[in-house]
A and B are shown apart, each in its own frame.
Chain A
Amino acid sequence: MRLSSKQSTLLVLAALMIVSPFFFPSNYYYRIGSLVFVNSIAVVGIVILTGYAGQISLGHAGFLGIGGYACALLPIHLGVPPALAAVLGAVLSGIIAYGVGRPILRLKGYYLAVASLGFGVLVAMVLANEGWLTGGPDGVKVPDPGLRAALEWLGIPLANPQLWYAFSGLVLFVGAWLALNLRDSPTGRALRALHGSEVAARTAGVDIARAKLNAFVISAVYASVAGSLLALQNRLITPDVAGFMHSIELVTMAVLGGAGSVLGGIFGAALLTLLPQVLTVLQDYEHVVLGLVMMLVMIFLPAGLIPSARRLLRGRGE
């Protein structure tokens, strides 16, 4: 039986998630792993928006901020349980993305990038300046969702990093599965059609405005879920999460790994999360090496690491 590309992607992902812990010498590696998964979730959202639909957002960290702060503020101000707050945060992000997306998705190219950037900066500013609500620039503590206690009660005692490795991994797996399914669905085909040519897609009967909006809302929900997971495992959230640099980081992860492919996005996220940890050894050169890696990828593998590598392998096989 030949596996479809979707099945093999999911299989590789699951295998990596399950096998990696056997090589972890300490809990620190679980922490890094869970950060890789959290970043990957947000990046898979960007793969849908940028890779499938060809739209650029430089403000996606804003949705991470909304998702993260929902987990802190809804329990504190309204007494909502943190787990439910994460879901409400995702819904809220979707609604805001719908409202914001309608006008700004009329823009194209640079104009869209700048408008989305403005949105991200606005969210970060509100989070930093409305101290009475958000706790201001020093951030706010996030209540314990009780997941660890629940598992302990079930007889599965896990250290904090292990728990979040498992949980974020599970969420990422589901997220990747949905994104891969979306790719081959009519909605996904419409997105990829408008990526190729908006005029041709419209001629073929695709409602372009609607398709773009769909992609934007879906990717916002992914970002929001990532933000919630980050807030819940850090037990603290600060406005930096929604900051401009974080948005850029997410887009870079997607582009580096290959914006058109889910596995590529995840690989990019893993690389850019791990590299700074490895490079602490040569602390002074960290940014130089990161820049160099980026430049080399852009010059020699313009489609991103995974798609370019796949093309190379396939070329050799035939």
Chain B
Amino acid sequence: MKRIATGVVALALMATAASADIKIGAIVSETGPASSLGDPEAKTIRMMVEALNAKGGIKGEKAKLVLYDDGGDPSKAKTFATRLVEDDGVVAMVGGTTTGTSLAILAVAEDSKVPFISLAGAIEIIDPVKPYVFKTPHTDRMACLKIFADMKSRGLTRIGLISGTDGFGASMRAQCLAVAKSSGIEIVADETYGPKDADITPQLTNIRNRPGIQAVLNSGFGQGPATITRNYAQLGIALPLYQSHGVASNAFIELSGAKNAEGVRLPGTALLVGELLDPKDPQKPVVLAYKANFEKAAGGAPVSTFGGYAHDAMLILAEAMAKAPSAKPAAIRDAIEATTGLVGTTGAYTYSKTDHLGLDLSAFRMLEISNGGWKLVP
């Protein structure tokens, strides 16, 4: 029976793998708990490959996308990565929506020497630097540093930290705790909440009652931050509230209520405030073009930072493949590492032998919610 099943697998693969185009692999969490990240990523990747082919492909050869949905399961991600490399014969991979799936894919990428551009936040992905692994999003540590710098400039040094217990929240909490001291910030309260909690007032009350507290930072993602913003307003807490880059979207303002979210600050990418950017800003045209294209391709769905990460990964890959002397994985890897000053939606990327993240703090913009919209904090 298993032989028959294996035969079916083989047949199904042959049906899709007949042409000799250049194959690009993608593994994203289009469904499952991380689908709010993975879905815009998948849409963006499909859109970018279409656009690439419409412009004549890579040196005249068509690119073919093989995209798998891992459902947020690292074991599945590893299986699909093996499949892309061993069976589909892709020359590069993009994806790994969550840190867990990225770590699973990168092991295969390193083992088989196929370049992989990750879309997940954690610093472990590129630290220590692995030859074949790159990533496009900022690290959580950079978000913490950006927030702490803004706090310092407002004279806020004693803060309360509240974090979600999901992957995003836990990872950012650890990074913020690690860099607080060197940033001159003292964390006087450290509370957590479950990602699906409907009421977070007890933790917030606890934080408010700490003596000398000056601001609150929430490292969280999904519904939790919106609940916190509402509870924060209900409790009438007057301290400045900072949210993470994970909720940088218009949906967050809608979920929290524009009145409750007034004055909330968070670090975000240029994507969110495209129209507000200075006309001379090199990111402005890139961001506005992606926004228009995505909204057209996705039937009016709003752009998100996560789709932006996928956009940048595909941009880097397309440029590297155009420049690489051949379509061999190793040549593409070298070309990716040579990326210099490439402007994406997240920032300008400059990779090097020792830096596979390629971004600095300047890529983050400090945003403030004002009248139900966004305002750039100078």
Residues of A within 8 A of B (CB): 16, 19-20, 23-29, 31-32, 35-36, 128-129, 131, 136-139, 141, 160-161, 230, 234-236, 238, 240-241, 267, 270-271, 274, 276-278, 280-281, 283
Q: Per-position contact with A for B12-34: 1 when CB-CB < 8 Å, else 0?
A: 10011000000000000000000
* B interface, CB within 8 angstroms of A: 1-3, 5-10, 12, 15-16, 68-69, 72-76, 78-79, 82-83, 85-87, 98-100, 103-104, 107, 111, 122, 165-167, 170-171, 174
A129→B165 contact, CB < 8 A: yes
Is there contact, CB below 8 Å, between B10 and A25?
Answer: yes
Residue contact A240 to B174, C-beta cutoff 8 Å: no
Residue of B15, B68, B78, B174 near A234 (CB, 8 A) is B78
> CA–CA, A28 to B89, complex, Å?
11
Interface of B, secondary structure class, is: helix
Residue contact B82 to A31, C-beta cutoff 8 Å: yes
What is the distance, in angstroms, from B99's C-beta to the closest C-beta of chain A?
4
Point out the residues of chain A lying under 8 angstroms from B79, CB to CB: 28, 31-32, 35, 277
A278 touches B75 (CB 8 A): no
A65 CB, min distance to chain B CBs, angstroms: 13
Question: Given A20-B6, A32-B79, A230-B75, is A137 in contact with B68 using a C-beta cutoff of 8 Å?
Answer: no
Option from A139, A270, A281 in Cβ contact (under 8 Å) with B5: A270
Q: Please, which residue of chain B has its CB at the minimum distance from the CB of A36? A: B2
Q: List B contacts of A234 (CB < 8 A).
A: 74-75, 78, 104
A131 partner residues in chain B, CB cutoff 8 A? 170, 174
Do A137 and B166 contact each other (CB < 8 Å), given the known contacts A19-B3, A28-B82, A236-B104? yes
Task: Using A234-B75, A277-B79 as known contacts, say yes or no to A160 and B100 having CB atoms under 8 A apart.
Answer: no
Instruction: Write out the residue numbers on chain A whose beta carbons fall within 8 Å of the beta carbon of B74.
Output: 139, 234, 236, 238, 240
A–B Cβ pairs within 8 angstroms, 22 of them: A16-B2, A20-B6, A23-B3, A23-B6, A27-B82, A29-B87, A131-B170, A137-B165, A137-B170, A138-B98, A138-B170, A141-B103, A236-B100, A240-B72, A240-B75, A270-B1, A274-B5, A274-B9, A277-B79, A278-B9, A280-B69, A281-B12
How far, in angstroms, from A31 to B85 measured CA to CA in the complex? 12
A227 to chain B, nearest CB (A): 11
Of all A-B residue pairs in the complex, the 7 with the closest CB atoms, nearest first, are A137-B167, A28-B86, A26-B86, A136-B170, A28-B87, A138-B99, A27-B86
A16 to B99: give the CA distance in the assembly, Å. Answer: 36
User: CA A160 – CA B112 in complex, angstroms?
Assistant: 11
Q: Which of A129, A136, A240, A278 touches B171 (beta carbons < 8 Å)? A: A136
Contacts of A23 in B (CB 8 A): 3, 6-7, 10
Chain A residue nearest in CB terms to B10: A25
CA gap between A138 and B124 in the complex, in Å: 11
Beyond contacts A138-B167, A139-B100: 9 other A-B pairs, Cβ-Cβ < 8 A, are A20-B6, A31-B82, A32-B9, A138-B99, A138-B171, A161-B82, A240-B72, A280-B68, A281-B15
Q: Residue among A138, A139, A234 with the most chain B CB within 10 A?
A: A138
A281 touches which one: B1, B16, B78, B87 (CB < 8 A)? B16
Q: Looking across the interface, which residue of chain B has its beta carbon closest to that of A16? A: B2
Q: How far is the CA of A295 from the CA of B356 in the complex (A)?
A: 49
The answer for the CA separation of A235 and B74 in the assembled complex, in Å, is 11
* Contact assessment for A138 and B103 in the assembled complex, using a CB-CB cutoff below 8 Å: yes
Q: Which residues of the other chain, B, contact A24 by a CB distance below 8 angstroms?
A: 6
Closest to B73 in A: A240
Question: In the complex, which residues of chain B have a beta carbon less than 8 angstroms from the beta carbon of A139?
Answer: 74, 100, 103
The CA-CA distance from A136 to B69 in the complex, in Å, is: 23
Closest to A27 in B: B86
**CA separation between A31 and B86, bound complex, in Å?**
10
Docked pose: A241 CA to B87 CA in angstroms: 26
In Å, the complex CA distance between A35 and B104 comes to 15
B5 touches A25 (CB 8 A): no
Complex Cα distance, B8 from A20, in Å, reads: 13
Distance to closest chain A CB from B134 (angstroms): 19
| Cα of A230 to Cα of B73 in the assembled complex, Å | 13
Asked whether B111 lies within 8 Å of A160 as measured between CB atoms, the reply is yes
Most chain B CB inside 10 Å of its own CB: which residue of A16, A137, A139, A270 = A137
* Residue ID in chain B nearest A139 by CB atoms: B100
In the assembly, what is the distance between CA of A230 and CA of B75, in Å? 8
Give chain B residues whose Cβ lies under 8 Å from the Cβ of A283: 69
Given contacts A131-B174, A136-B167, A236-B103, contact A20 B3 (CB under 8 A): yes
- The complex places the Cα of A162 from the Cα of B15 at a distance, in Å, of 25
B9: nearest residue on chain A (CB-CB)? Answer: A278
Q: Which residues of A contact B174 (CB under 8 A)?
A: 131, 136
The chain B residue sitting closest to A29, CB to CB, is: B6
**A residues less than 8 Å from B3 (CB atoms):** 16, 19-20, 23
